[in-house]
Amino acid sequence: MTFKNISVCLFFLLGYFLHAQKVYLSKVEKTNDNKEKHFFQIDKNNSAAEYLGEIEVQGFSNDDFAVFTNIYKKAKDIGANSFAYQPFETIDEKKQPFNPANYKIKLYYTSKEELSRPSDSIFLFSSSVKPQKISVNKTEIILQPRSFVTIKTIPGETYVISTKKLLGSTIKVLGQSHSPAQYFQMSSIRVRSNNYGEPGINLKSGDITVLDRSFGDFLRMIYSENK
């Protein structure tokens, strides 16, 4: 290998390490010895959750599931079963907008009763890289990359969700009173299934993927909502 080739390799390796994503526990207040597998988002302003610590993410990655997996494993190291986004503040105490390349998450232990509150909502997520054209009950919606839409369901009403492609997928979701939230990602990209005992991706049907609530809650935090 020539000196020039070695220099090029070293340059790319240096760039990789400088831009590599890091996920680490930045603070540990206490630990909890629970063995619960779920990891749900909560509203820290309306919660009696027990604060455990914080995670900080530095560097951007389009592989949202890999990022979530790293966060999940570190959260479980201290027994967290819930989380909330913690905005950075400027010198004048103004909250900064979410930055996918650098953010903090507060970790909590929350009671099962509080985490099991009904939602009656459907969350539809785009992919991390491409816009997705979908329809809900024949109403067309364009989801930009890293965005989602929330549908508040009505008991007894059926919601027909389609990806509007020649060989695209269509699903029907029935609205039920006091039901848990349901999460779907609308994308034709290849995704990885969750490992046994870990939350993540439960089922893929064509280009509509059913997500576990834990991963869905994480996407709700890092994606922008279409109002």
pLDDT at 48: 85
Quick: pLDDT tens for 111-137.
Answer: 999 999 889 999 999 999 889 999 999
Q: Which residue has the higher pLDDT, 97 or 153?
A: 153
Quick: pLDDT tens for 167-208.
Answer: 678 899 999 999 999 999 987 554 455 553 455 555 555 588
pLDDT at 187: 76
pLDDT at 80: 97
Distance CA 218, CA 66 (A): 12
* Residue 108, pLDDT above cutoff 70: yes
- Average pLDDT along the chain: 84
Quick: pLDDT tens for 1-51.
Answer: 554 454 544 444 444 444 468 999 999 999 999 999 999 999 888 778 999
Record the pTM. 0.84
Specify which of 92-101, 124-133, 151-160 reaches the highest per-range mean pLDDT: 151-160
